[in-house]
Amino acid sequence: MPELPEVETVRRGLQPVLEGRRLVQVRQLRPDLRFPLPLDLVARLQDRRIDRIERRAKYLLMHLDSDDVLLVHLGMSGRILLIEDPDRTPLLTHDHVVLRTDEGVEVRFNDTRRFGFMDIFPADELTTHRHLAGLGPEPLGNTFNGPSLAAALKGRNTSVKAALLDQKVVAGLGNIYVCEALYQARLSPRRLARTVQGQRAERLVAAIRDVLHRAIAAGGSSLRDYVQTSGELGYFQHSWAVYGREGEACPDCICAGPPANGIRRLVQSGRSTFYCARLQR
């Protein structure tokens, strides 16, 4: 599933094309994605201007001049593609929602598996909407720091890996970037969350921020379906230190030989975790 860097990359790709532009044609090509699409989706989008596009956690939020907000989640396989010459670019089988701007550019939401979803709601419901209420701080925001993370982890007897995947602790992190950040912070994914206090918490916050910034600069990570709005792949997967590299040496030690035998993989909460047992404590 696309994580924060991938969604932020999509947001930045959409900004220059959609912000300030009016939607002159809106097409909904099926009634549902992961959930049924709002019955009035087309009517509420037609002829509206998109004033700004924000991101909250893994959600795109398009603010309209009607004071409505279009929420978009990419799910497992969702793509948002910009089509500059739509009249000469046929629709694909899994293009489900199509927005055309007053400049003639089309934005097509394509989702093979249909795990993505959309909703539209009044802007004054941003903090109470069922998908947004209760989300933790943005990891790149000013309220996310060592003391705030330490407070969120205090008393938690789950692993720090599981805690960081809890969207109420910090919003937008997923499996890949948690593995990478824990490696950079030299913290074992098995460590109890409640023990990440003081300098450990400061170190982890710095690592999370750095990993996310580098991933965004690389256009995110492309595994199966994710592409940027231009159709290009992300490139951060080439910079992974541990994720997906079971048995290999990590970049910072000689862990490939015994007794460590390289980067290890374990399953936590049904997800693969990759880490270096020599460096991460």
- Give the DSSP per-residue string, 83-117: ESSGGGSPPPTTEEEEEEETTS-EEEEEESS---E
State whether 112 and 173 are in the same domain.
no
Here the tokens at position 64 are 């309209």
Q: Which of 55, 58, 108, 264 is catalytic?
A: 58
Q: What is the pLDDT of residue 226?
A: 47
Shared domain for 36 and 106, answered yes or no, is yes
> Domain boundary residue among 96, 125, 154?
125
Token representation of residue 164: 């960081």
* 132 is a domain residue: no
Q: Which residues span the domain enclosing 10? A: 4-125
108 phi, psi to nearest 5 deg: -115, 125
Query: What CATH number does residue 58 fall under?
Result: 3.20.190.10
Q: Are residues 117 and 165 in the same domain?
A: no
Distance between CA atoms of 40 and 68, rounded to whole angstroms? 12
Report if residue 86 sits inside a domain.
yes
Candidates 44, 186, 194, 271; catalytic one: 271
With H, G, I as helix, E, B as strand and everything else as coil, classify residue 171: coil
Q: Is 263 inside any structural domain?
A: no
Statement to judge: residues 174 and 216 lie in one domain: yes
Confidence of residue 236 (pLDDT cuts 50, 70, 90): low
**Two tokens, residue 255:** 């862990």
What are the tokens at 69?
A: 């907000």
pLDDT, one tens digit per residue, over 190-235 is 999 999 999 999 999 999 999 999 999 887 765 554 455 666 555 4
| CB hemisphere CA count around 210 (13 angstroms) | 14
Same domain, 168 and 225: yes
Residue 245 forms part of a structural domain? no
- Number of domains the chain is built from: 2
Residues 165 and 62 in one domain: no
- Looking at residue 171, which CATH number applies to its domain? 1.10.8.50
What 3-state DSSP class applies to 188? coil
> Over 50: is that where the pLDDT of 186 sits?
yes
Q: How many CB atoms lie within 10 A of CB 60?
A: 21
In this structure, the answer to whether residues 84 and 190 fall within a common structural domain is no
Which residue reads 């599933």 in tokens? 1
Average pLDDT over residues 114-128: 97
Asked if 105 and 76 sit in the same domain, the reply is yes
Residue 246 lies in a domain: no
Same domain, 158 and 96: no
Is residue 80 within 8 Å of residue 98, measured between CB atoms?
A: no
> pLDDT by residue (tens digit) across 24-83?
999 999 999 999 999 999 999 999 999 999 999 999 999 999 999 999 999 988 999 999
Residue 266 is assigned to a structural domain of this protein = no
Query: Active site residue: 3, 6, 8, 180, which one?
Result: 3
Same-domain pairing of 185 and 121? no
**Catalytic residue (one of 2, 137, 139, 189):** 2
Shared domain for 178 and 121, answered yes or no, is no
Q: Is 3 a catalytic residue?
A: yes
pTM of this prediction? 0.92
Check whether residue 29 and residue 119 sit in a common domain.
yes
Alpha carbon of residue 194 to chain centroid: 25
In a domain, 158, yes or no: yes
Q: How far, in Å, CA of 276 to CA of 256, rounded? A: 10
